[in-house]
């Protein structure tokens, strides 16, 4: 399902360069270029690329999945803004510190 074209599209959606993806996936940039050029790469490298995209909020849609035309594609998933994440973490820390002993 995951293809070089979807990889390039996901990078474009995020505004990532090949170097950005390589860093996020903890791979060499040459691995990214090989995959996007439709050359063989290890399945573990493809999984690392997918994991990096999913961590950045990209959801890949399988053919026949819930998309407008039933074809393969991708979409973003809702993610909190960094300020919201920081506020949630602050509240969680405050709640942990306010434990009452009985």
pLDDT at residue 49, as a whole number? 97
What pLDDT is stored for residue 60 in this prediction?
Answer: 80
* Mean pLDDT taken over the chain: 81
Residue 97 falls within a domain, yes or no?
Answer: no
Q: 79 is written with which tokens? A: 């993610």
Number of structural domains in the chain: 1
Within a domain: 86: no
Question: 100 in a domain, yes or no?
Answer: no
Residue among 22, 17, 1 at smallest CA distance from 73: 1
Q: For the domain that residue 28 is a member of, what is the CATH number?
A: 1.10.260.40
pLDDT of residue 61: 75
47 belongs to a structural domain: yes
b/e per residue 80-89 (b: at least 16 CB within 10 A): eeeeeeeeee
Measured CA to CA, the distance from residue 89 to residue 92 in angstroms comes to 5
Which residue range(s) make up the domain with 45?
A: 4-77
Alpha-carbon distance of 55 to 67, in angstroms, equals: 21
pLDDT at position 57, please?
86
Instruction: Tally Cβ neighbours within 10 Å of residue 76.
Output: 12
What percent of the chain clears pLDDT 90, i.e. is strictly above it?
Answer: 46
Is 69 inside a domain boundary? yes
Torsion, CA 18, CA 25, CA 35, CA 29, rounded to 10: 50
Residue 102 has pLDDT above 50, yes or no: no
Please, which pLDDT band fits residue 2 given cuts at 50, 70 and 90? Answer: confident
Query: Are 2 and 66 a contacting pair, CB within 8 Å?
Result: no
Q: Give yes or no for residue 58 having a pLDDT over 80.
A: yes
pLDDT at 78: 66
């Amino acid at each position: 399902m995951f293809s070089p074209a979807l990889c390039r599209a996901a990078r474009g959606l995020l505004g990532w360069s090949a170097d950005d993806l390589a860093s996020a996936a903890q791979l060499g940039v040459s691995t990214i270029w090989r995959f996007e050029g439709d050359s063989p790469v290890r399945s573990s490298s493809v999984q690392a690329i997918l994991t990096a995209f999913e961590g950045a909020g990209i959801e890949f849609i399988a053919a026949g999945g819930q998309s407008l035309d039933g074809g393969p594609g991708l979409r973003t998933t809702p993610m909190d803004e960094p300020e919201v994440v920081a506020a949630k973490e602050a509240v969680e820390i405050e709640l942990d510190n306010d434990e009452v002993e009985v």
